[in-house]
Structure formats: structure tokens, C-alpha cells
Amino acid sequence: MNEETKIHNSKPKDFFYAVYERFLNTCDSVDCNVDKYYRIGGYNIKMQFAGRALILYITPAFEHLRTEPTENPSLTIFLWDSESTGVKMIAPPWEKDTFFYQGEIHEYNTERIYTLFQPGEDTLNLLDVSANIGIF
């Protein structure tokens, strides 16, 4: 795939926003008003959790960086898990053999969208650098 095709490929963006919509649908069934704010590397980061299950696993490592809420964070990360919310992740549109080094997904990474899957942990990490939105 040449660079121009990679930049204009809509598959990564479409998948990102399908997952983002799934997060929003999760908020229809569980409390998503669980927001935590941190100052990391000079940036204000907002973590919005769907439910409370992941809070105990994610936030202790960041507690020393906790800060007051901000209206315009540099990055907002939406976090949910299927087990505690009952909302399953959408099926990945890629084949199992498309993983690259450190979980990068072939054809689902562009200059705008980053897609990583950690198979041992069954975690998907997405980032839209243009919108400053991450999904875990």
C-alpha cells in the first residue's frame, strides 16, 4: 500500500468511530459519568470510564498526576470493558495474522488513526490524533 492510499484509507477511521459509537451505546446501560483528570507530560488528560470496574485497575498508577477537571483536555480517553458492562466489543474486521510488532494492526494505522491490539490481554487501544480521542 503506498502512502497516499494509506492516508486516505477510510477503514481505520470507520472502525474507530464504530468502536466509539459502541462506547456511547455502553453509556446507555451503565454510568459513564465517571471522569478522572490527570496532567501527564505537560498535557491535560481526561479518562471517562463506562462503569467503575476498570477504575481500580487503571487509576492507581496515575494518582500522583491527578488534577482538577478541565473543559478542554488535550486528550480524552474512553474506557470500558465487556465483562462488567455486558456490552461486547464489535468484531474486529481484520484477520488474526495481521498483527505487527507490539500489536499494530496492518491496514488500520494511518497518520490519523492508530490501532493496537494486545492479544494476551485482549485489549484494544485506538487513537484518533486529529480528534484527540483515545479508546481503551
| pLDDT score of 109 | 87
| pLDDT score of 7 | 41
pLDDT by 10s per residue, the chain, length 136: 444 344 445 789 999 999 999 999 898 888 888 999 999 999 999 999 999 999 999 999 999 999 999 999 999 999 999 999 998 888 888 876 666 667 888 788 899 999 998 877 888 999 999 999 999 9
| pLDDT score of 33 | 84
| pLDDT score of 5 | 40
Cα–Cα distance measured from residue 104 to residue 119, given in angstroms and rounded to the nearest whole number: 11
- Residue 87 burial (C-beta neighbours within 10 Å; 0-12, 13-18, 19+): buried
| pLDDT score of 100 | 65
The residue with cell 492508530 is 114
Domain hosting residue 44, numbered range? 3-135
pLDDT in tens, 30-56: 888 899 999 999 999 999 999 999 999
| pLDDT score of 28 | 86
Please name which of 82, 47, 75 lies closest in space to residue 61, comparing C-alpha atoms.
47
Tally of domains in the chain: 1
| pLDDT score of 70 | 94
| pLDDT score of 10 | 78
CB neighbourhood size of 64 (10 A):
7
